[in-house]
Structure 1
Amino acid sequence: MATKPNVRVQSDTVPLSVALLARLDALGIDVARVLEIARVPQPTSSVAVLHLDTQHFFAVWAAIGEVSADEEIGIRIGSEAFEGKLDLASLCALHSRDLSDAFRKLSRYKRLTCPEDVRVDVTEGEAAVTFHWLLADASAPDLLVDAIFASTVKLAGRASGGAITPKRIELARRTKGQKRLARHFKCDIRFDAPTDALVFSSTDMKTPFITHDESLVHELVPGLDAELASISKHESFDGQVDAALLRGMRGQRPSVETLAAELAVSPRTLQRRLAQNGTYYQERLDAVRQRVAHRLLANTNLDLGEIAWFLGFEELNSFSRSFNQWEGVTPHRWRIQKTGTEPTLAS
């Protein structure tokens, strides 16, 4: 039987600007219908920001896709993100030294505004940037991914004077709109990826920003750090563990020692604190693996062997046995039931 992971990294609150809703209305989208589909109350005239949980925030973006006939609406919204008022984390990123510094600041301060984690993995001359919604029970809607990537590319281009463009975009979805995406992002678009990733050349990460303003950053950082420390006091330790497991899920099973090191505690302390909360390492690992397996099976054509590898299983049979324990069916059968179609032969 399926179990819902008990993940709590911070308050599950995501801001939805009323200014964005006004922009959607200007683009001809029936905002009232969007909010109705997403089951979100209409904002009053005195409200500037709606505070939603991740589930309803995703529902709004899914509803935008349902109501709008414009397949590029996510890209349009994201491309305009740096034209208006910025949150403090984005402002810090825009005025950083370079792209590497910008992503460090986004990674550190993004969770002040929403439960989203930004990670950069540099290997073989490439820097892969991924965005993880830590409290999501489902994958982010495609339009939201498009918007996040478009806003990130806009940041890189604006801050570098057009010198930085993505090398490649990898999408954890089935092939759709490849020419449209390639036309906007002007790079290679690859589908059926294990995770959504925006890939830059590692050399681009050190390209100086023409918007660099160290004095402004120094003015903002102390306040952001103080707010971050306040939030950290109220974070669930189980949630921190799940977030670390999610970040590190790249074809390996993170050991207790590796996980403890990332959380800056000893392995004994890690296991003791989990036990105090009535859980343990394997339970947390299974919860995260289950969530990721659901997303990859439902949204991509990755074969089962590739999914098993990404989740850190040594062989396909081990993944199939574990999945059967979670869901009561094999991953092959679950995929058919979820998508209503027979998977590819490779699955």
Structure 2
Amino acid sequence: MTLHSYIRIPDGLWAGFTQLGISAQEVVRKAKMPLTVITDSEVTTEQYIAIWRAFSDIMGDKEDGMLMLPQVIETTQYPPPVLAAYHARDYRDALNRMARYKKMCPPENIRIVEEGRQCTIEINWQNTDQPIPLVLIGTLLVFLLELGRRGTGLPIKATSVEFTHSMNHVQVLENYFGCPIQVGAERNRLILDRRELDHPFVSYNDELLKILTPVLDETLKKHRRSNSLKEIVKWILERSLTKEKLDLQDVAGELGMSERTLQRRLTGEQTSFKELVRDVRHKQAREYLADPSLDLKEVAFLLGYKDQSSFYRAFRFWEGNTPLKWRAEHKMKQLK
């Protein structure tokens, strides 16, 4: 469900689990999800986090898990956005491409700030109130450094790495990053010497980038146009209208966020849950009434009304007309 902010899990992640001796089926079962997720590879934010939590539980050693996974996934298994980063001109170009195209695949957001002699790469999460597993945070930070090492062919080291979580085996991470690790920090960040970003990528492929970049940019544009929270909620509501009660709590749960967060974000988009329910019912009412095979009792039921009189009152408010008269007038227009 890419259009509606579901997350597509790349095949390379399942392959990476397998290379670590963990089957995709084992991870999905541990996450209490249907096995069809493996073939569909499209999940909600809540399910995505559950998969990483399950992987963490199976691995046991979180520090080893976050180090091993980015290193066992082969470059041939990278999804197109990551492939574009791997074949970028230099490390700076690669990181900027990662930050840009990550917006097509929520919930992680990558923020890059170059200031003075440092480049700070910060990871944060959007559209969820779920606690983020340490192994997911670490895997992302490790991957961003691994990308630079693979692309340049150089043993690039970080100057500092910060985690909001606490952990038991900091030394194993310090050995990989080549710098001190700070735990219990305010943010999850990878800090590099800015000069490292100037290193050219030996994997640079201009011809491939000319093919990938326009496609990814167009996909990103479509994602931005269609991926507002307002449209996502309307999409969910359209599939839930037959419920007698359209519950804010249910929709918030499906999106992996609290009711309060959902209300706040909808207010930010100049709308409310109540308005969206009304708009969706109005739109669907017109579509159902245009179908002569549906009687008015069925239409009321499909829109989630307990009785026809409630539907009649709502429709008169929307259209200034009764459903019967609207249907008759619509039919006459169709015949002309």
TM-score (norm 1): 0.61
- Max Rg structure: 2
SS at match of 2:56: helix
CA contact (8 A) 2:87 2:204 kept: yes
Deviations 1:30-86 (A, max 9, x none): 654432331211138xx6452111111111111122122344122111222343321
Structure 2 residue 46 is matched with structure 1 residue 52: no
Q: CA RMSD of the aligned region, Å?
A: 2.8
- Do the aligned partners of 1:17 and 1:49 also contact (CA within 8 Å) in 2? no
User: 1:115: which partner in 2?
Assistant: 107
Written as runs of structure 1 = structure 2, the 5 A alignment for 1:137-152 is: 137-152=129-144
Distance 2:44 2:95 in 1: 24
Unaligned stretches of 5+ residues in structure 1: 1-8, 240-272, 280-347
Contact 2:19 2:72 in 1 (8 A): no
Partner of 1:14: 7
SS at match of 1:225: helix
Q: Alignment identity in percent?
A: 22
**Quick check: 1:277 aligned with 2:264?**
no
**Whose relative contact order is higher, 1 or 2, with alpha carbons under 8 Å and at least 6 apart?**
1
In 2, Cα distance between the equivalents of 1:175 and 1:87?
Answer: 30
Residues 120/59 of structure 1: CA separation in 2 closer, same or farther (3 Å cut): same
- Secondary structure of the 1:199 match is strand
Q: Deviations over 1:149-184 (max 9, x none)?
A: 222111100111115322221111124211121122
Measure, in 2, the Cα distance between the counterparts of 1:31 and 1:96.
31
Aligned with 1:197 (options 151, 165, 189): 189
Q: How many residues align?
A: 236
Q: Is the Cα contact below 8 Å between 2:16 and 2:73 reproduced in 1? A: no
- Whole-Å Cα distance in 2 between the matches of residues 43 and 202 of structure 1? 44
1:123-134 alignment, distance < 5 Å: 123-134=115-126
The residue correspondences of 1:190-269 to structure 2 (distance < 5 A) are 190-236=182-228
Is 1:39 the equivalent of 2:71?
Answer: no
Residue deviations 1:216-255 (CA, integer Å, cap 9, x gap): 212211111111111111132789xxxxxxxxxxxxxxxx
Structure 2 residue ranges without an equivalent (≥5)? 232-266, 274-336
**C-alpha contact 2:161 2:191 (8 A) present in aligned 1:** yes
Cα deviation for residue 115 of structure 1 reads 3.5
TM-score (norm 2): 0.63
* Aligned-partner SS, 1:233: helix
- Say if 1:160 and 1:209, in contact at 8 Å, map to a contact too: yes
